Structure 1
C-alpha cells in the first residue's frame, strides 16, 4: 500500500467522522432547545444551567467540524506530514469545555445551598420530556463512541465523553426535579450535582491524557515490537534505530535502519516493500522511511 493509498483511506475516514459530527450536532441542538424551553417555562435554574451545559455539546461538535476541516491527512507544501494534529487540538478544546462545565456545576451547586429556593412549576410532562432528553443523550454517547472506536477517532471518542458528562448532569437534574416534585426536597438536585461535576472533571483529564502524547510525538509503537515483526521477514538480517510516532490505526510515521541479505538494489528494494506491506497490514496507514545499510552495520547484541 503506497502513501497515496493510505492518504485516500484516511480521507474517507475523515468524511465519515464529519458525517457523525453533523448527526450529533443536530441532536445536541434539539436537546439544548428542549432544556432551555423547559427551564424558562418552569422557572428552574437547574434546567437552565443544564441547557447551558448542553450548549457546550453543540459547541464541541462545531469545534470538531472546524478541526476536521483543517485536519486533512494529505500533505501540502507547508505541512509535508499532513494535518492530523489539528484533530488532536480539537480534542483538547473539548477537554477545555469539560473543565469549564465541571467548574460551573460545582459553583452553581455550592451557591444554591445558600440561596432561597423558589417554588418551581414541575409536573409529570416536564419529567417525561426530561426522560426523553436523557434517552437522546444516551443514544448520542453510544453512537459517537461506537463510531469513534470503528474509525479510531480521538475526536469522536472525546466528544462521546463530553456527551456522557451531559448524561450525568441531565440525570442529576431529573432526580432533583423529581425530588422537588414528589418528595418536597428542594436541595436534592444541587447535592447530586457535586459527584457529577467530579465525573466531568475526570473525563476532561482522560481526554488530555489521550491526546497530549500524540501532540508531543510520544512513541506510537514500541521499538522492540517493530523489530521482532520486521526480523520475521525472510531476508532481513538486522533492524535498528527504530522510531515511530502518530496513532496506530489512523496514521503512523516509522523510520528505521535496515540490513538485508540481497546485495543488488532491486532485490533489496523489493524486500523493503515487503516490510512496508507487513507493517501497514499490522498497524494500518503508515508512512515508512527505511535506510538500507551494509552487512557491516549489523548491531551486535
Structure 2
C-alpha cells in the first residue's frame, strides 16, 4: 500500500496557514463590530487551525504500512484524528450557543458594521472555499480520511460564514431601511450556525466510527456470492469483514475446495482474493482451507442476532 503521508502533511501545512489568516481576520472584525455571530465564527476557525495541528500529529503515526508492532497497519490513527476533529466541533457548538443565550439574557453592545468590513469578510469566504475544495480533492485522490474529514469541517465553515455575512448585512441595513428588528439577526443567526457546526461533527463521527469499532464492512452474503461462483469452491462459511470499503477492508473466511492438492487449492484462494479486490478495492483476505467434513451453512461468523448494548 502506498504511503501518502507526505502529501497529507503538505496539504495540512498549507491549510493551517490559511486558517490562521482567516481566524485572525474574523476575530479582528468580530471584536471591532461587536458581532456575536462573527466572534463565534472566529471560534469555529480556531478549531480549523487546531484540526490541522491534530491532523499533523495523527499523520505522524498513521503509516498504512504494517510493521511488527502494528501488523494491520496504522490507519486507525487517522480515524482517531478525525474523531478529535468532531470533539473540537462539539466544543465550538457549545460555545456558540452559550454566547447567544448570554446575549439574549443579559444584552450587550449593539453591533455596528461598515461596508469595508463586509468586503474583508468576502475574502474570508473565498479562502474558505479554496481550502475546502483543495482538501477534498487531494483527500479523495490519495484516499486520506483526515483530509476528507477536515474538508467537511471547512465546508461547514463556508456556510457558517455565508450565514454570518447575511446577518451582518441585515444589521448594516437596519438603520437605512428603518427596520430595527434586523439588529437582532446577529444573535438569531448564531443558533443555525451552531446547528451547522454540530451536524458537521456528526458526519465526521459517522464516517469514522465503523473503522474504530470493527463494524462489518461488507455483508457476508455479498462475499459469499462472489466466492461460490469461483471455480473449485465447494463451500464457504464463517465470513467476517471489518474496515471501510474504499479505504481498507480485512476479510476472513473458512473455505472448502474441490481438490486435495495444496498447490491447486492455493491457486483457488488467489483467484478469490483477486475477485474480491476487483469488487471492493483494497482488501486483505485471510482464508482458512478446511477438509470436506467441515462444511457449514453458516455464512456469517458468530451470531446473526444483534447484540444488546
Regarding TM over 0.5, the answer is yes
* Alignment check: 8 A CA contact 1:64 1:90 kept: yes
Of 135, 143, 162, the residue aligned with 1:171 is 162
2: CA distance, partners of 1:49 / 1:36: 9
* Alignment check: 8 A CA contact 1:137 1:166 kept: yes
Equivalent residue, structure 1, for 2:28: 37
Please give the secondary structure, in 2, of the residue aligned with 1:287.
strand
* Alignment check: 8 A CA contact 2:100 2:187 kept: yes
Equivalent residue, structure 1, for 2:267: 270
- Any gaps of 5 or more consecutive residues in structure 1? 1-6
TM-score, with structure 2 as normaliser: 0.86
- Map 1:47-62; keep pairs closer than 5 Å: 47-62=38-53
CA displacement at 1:38 relative to structure 2 = 2.6
Of 218, 237, 243, the residue aligned with 2:234 is 237
CA displacement at 1:140 relative to structure 2 = 2.1
* Alignment check: 8 A CA contact 1:134 1:167 kept: yes
Q: Please give the root-mean-square deviation of Cα atoms over the aligned residues, in Å.
A: 2.1
1: CA distance, partners of 2:30 / 2:195: 24
CA displacement at 1:99 relative to structure 2 = 0.8
CA displacement at 1:128 relative to structure 2 = 1.0
Following TM superposition, the consecutive aligned residue runs of length 4 or more in structure 1 with deviations greater than 6 angstroms are: none
2: CA distance, partners of 1:149 / 1:164: 15
Of 54, 62, 65, the residue aligned with 1:74 is 65
Equivalent residue, structure 2, for 1:103: 94
Please say which of residues 34-43 and 219-228 is displaced more in the overlay.
34-43
Equivalent residue, structure 2, for 1:136: 127
* 1:155 pairs with 2:152: no
Equivalent residue, structure 1, for 2:285: 288
2: CA distance, partners of 1:120 / 1:109: 14
Please say which of residues 125-134 and 144-153 is displaced more in the overlay.
144-153
Q: Cα distance 1:72–1:300, how it changes in 2: closer, same or farther (>3 A)?
A: closer
2: CA distance, partners of 1:164 / 1:115: 32
Q: Cα distance 1:16–1:279, how it changes in 2: closer, same or farther (>3 A)?
A: farther
CA displacement at 1:17 relative to structure 2 = 3.1
CA displacement at 1:80 relative to structure 2 = 1.6
Equivalent residue, structure 1, for 2:85: 94
Equivalent residue, structure 2, for 1:279: 276
TM-score, with structure 1 as normaliser: 0.88
Q: Cα distance 1:21–1:152, how it changes in 2: closer, same or farther (>3 A)?
A: same
Number of aligned positions between the proteins:
292
Please give the secondary structure, in 1, of the residue aligned with 2:189.
helix
* Alignment check: 8 A CA contact 2:79 2:208 kept: yes
